[in-house]
């Protein structure tokens, strides 16, 4: 719990990189879902458990999760 604060402070900059990389595409690598999307989905889902509001500023990542599910 003590490490959660510093971790969550850095999280927005990491999520911003993911968001920029995804851009307006539907999937992270190519036109179809790939293994990379499964890995990224899992990470984003875990972060939502840690902080349910962490994706509020990243609409394309929210859309990615919905599309994946």
Average pLDDT over residues 23-43: 97
Q: Which residues of 6-25 are buried (b: 16+ CB within 10 A; e: fewer)?
A: eeeeeeeeebeebbeebeee
Indicate whether 2 pLDDT > 90. Answer: no
Question: What pLDDT was estimated at residue 51?
Answer: 94
In the prediction, which pLDDT does 61 show?
A: 98
* Domains of the chain and any CATH numbers: 4-68 (1.20.1050.10)
């Amino acid at each position: 719990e003590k490490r959660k604060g510093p971790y969550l402070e850095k999280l927005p900059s990491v999520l911003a990189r993911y968001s920029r990389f995804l851009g307006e595409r539907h999937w992270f690598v190519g036109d179809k879902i790939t293994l990379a999307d499964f890995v990224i989905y899992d990470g984003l889902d875990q972060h939502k458990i840690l902080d349910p509001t962490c994706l509020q500023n990243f609409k394309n990542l929210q859309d990615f999760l919905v599309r994946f599910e």
